[in-house]
Each structure stands twice: as structure tokens, then as C-alpha cells.
Structure 1
Amino acid sequence: MSADDIFRLLAILVPVLTAAFTTFATVLTGKSRERRNMHADAELLQHLPEGSAARESVLNLISASADQLLERRTHTIDKGGLAIALVGTIVLGYVGIWLWNLATVWGWLALIPVAGFWLVFFFGIFESAAKKDRAAEEREKEAEKARKEATKEAAKEAARQATKQASNPGVGQL
């Protein structure tokens, strides 16, 4: 890979990565904006007369905003996995194009595993971007922790039994 190829790659990657990081920053700061808007709506609600159509509209708006906040708190996406999948897809895509343009047999043969990994990263984008229930993730973590504890306890008990049999060689043998 020549310096010219590296500069071409950087010319493409830098804007893509900048756009991706800007999008992530916007997503992360969007939650506080929603809270500020709800606060402003609540202040407006105090000044509206009881039973008015405007008050009902603002109440509906606050209710919808609260539902959106609850959705964000109870569901999440895997941001780290999404970033890795995006970067991996872009990098392996360019590696695949470079291998294809070599027009050699070994380049085309090397393209096969690169294309396989590209597909894994490509589908990883969709897997990471799918919303997941945070409570389910917490339950999975707790279950995994309990399995590890049970495995440790079983290993300790097996070690105790082995030590007991080793210290009493005649016990348990016929």
C-alpha cells in the first residue's frame, strides 16, 4: 500500500468517522434537551387556565415526552458494538476493494475471508443498533453471575472431596 493509497483512504475515513462521532454526540446530548423541553412545558402548564384546549395539548405533549424518556431509560442500543461494527465494515470494505483491484489470484483468494469478516461486521451493525430491553440485560448479567458462583462452589466441593479421598486412601475402595 503506497502513501497515495493511504491518503486516499484517510480522505474517505476522516469525514465518515467525524460524521459518526457527531451523530453519537447528538444522540447522547438529546436526552437532556428532552428534559429541558419537559421542564419548560411544565412551567407553561402552570400559566394556562384549567379546562382549556391549550392546557390539554400541553398535557398530552408532556405525557408523550415522558413516554419517550421512559422508552430511552428502559431500552438501549449497544453503542460500543455499533461503533466497532461501523469501523470494521468500512475498513474491511476498503481492504476488499484493494484486494479485488490487485487482479491477482492470491488477492482474490484473500478476498474470501475478508468478505466473510465484512459480512459479520455488516450484520453486527444491525445487531448492535437494535433496541434491547435493559431489564432483560440486567437479568442476563445476574444469571451469568449466579452460574459463575455455582460453578465456583461446585469446583470447591469437588476439590474438598478429592482432598478427603487423597488423605484417606483406603476409604471408598473395595
Structure 2
Amino acid sequence: MAEVILVVGQVRRPHGIRGEVVVEVRTDTPEERFTAGARLLTEPAEAGPLTVKSVRNHSGSLLVRFAGVADRDAAERLKGVLLAVDSATLPDTGDPDEFYDHQLIGLAAELADGTRVGEVVDVLHHSQDVLVLRLPDGGEALVPFVGPIVPEVDLDGGRLVLDPPPGLLELG
């Protein structure tokens, strides 16, 4: 699989005078991504890479200090910078039925007989995960990402198999 850069946060603003910044978290695992010593890629690239020096929670916000960012002026220059990781550095989940969103997006959606019914274009995370399919007619369908409806995910083959209940793919 090609390298995929995954955004895990965005610098919102400086906090205080010692170089800390408020980070908007965009990952389910901030405790893994924002830990002392973690190296983060940046967009724009010339802003980094950045190495996390320290992390703390304050009034519901994540405050991060990066190595080499020692004062408010340096922190101010990071405002708006996206923080990211290379998907190749993500650990294997160890669970054959657990996937990262970027692994699912782009997969062909097929019925058991091989009929192509769409392509995964997004994954929504609510009380249960939901795949967003782009249908051949350009419409969309929402498919619960559960074993009985998605019995097979073939990453190497670039597809997943659906066993949808009647009417599911007709609902947009």
C-alpha cells in the first residue's frame, strides 16, 4: 500500500509564554500520537517535523510543547499547522477484524457473486462504524460496518464483500 499521511491534530493557538500550543486532536488515540518523543510530520512541511517534548491536559484542551519551540513567538508561528503521521509507522492492530479508515477508503464494494456495487469513500464513527459507499449512479449508501453485512475485507485484493439486507443499497 502506498504511503498515506494521516492528520492527527492541528495547532490552534499558543498557550502562555513558554512555547506551549493548544492542539485540536483529530485521532482516536491521542495518548499514542501525542507522547514525549513522538515525531510528527507537518503541513506545511517546512514547519516541521516536530518532536513532542511534553503534553498535558488543561481545561479540556490538549497542550503540547515541541522541542525547539521555547517561547510564545515560536508557538505563534505554528498556528494552523496540521500535525500528521505516516501510515507506515502505525502499529498493526493485532486484530484481523480491525482496520484503519485509510485502509478501507478506496476499496471496491462487491456482492458475494462479484457484482461491483460501489466504492468506499468514507468511514463514519458513531455508535457503530458506517461505511459510506459511492454507488455507480453517483449516489451514496450508508452501510453498517458489521460482520453479517460486511463478511469479508480483502485489503490485498482491494475489495470488500457485502451481504446487504434488501433495500440497503437503494437508500441514499
TM-score range, shorter chain: under 0.3
User: Could you say which structure has the larger radius of gyration?
Assistant: 1
Per residue, is there more strand in 1 or in 2? 2
Per residue, is there more helix in 1 or in 2? 1
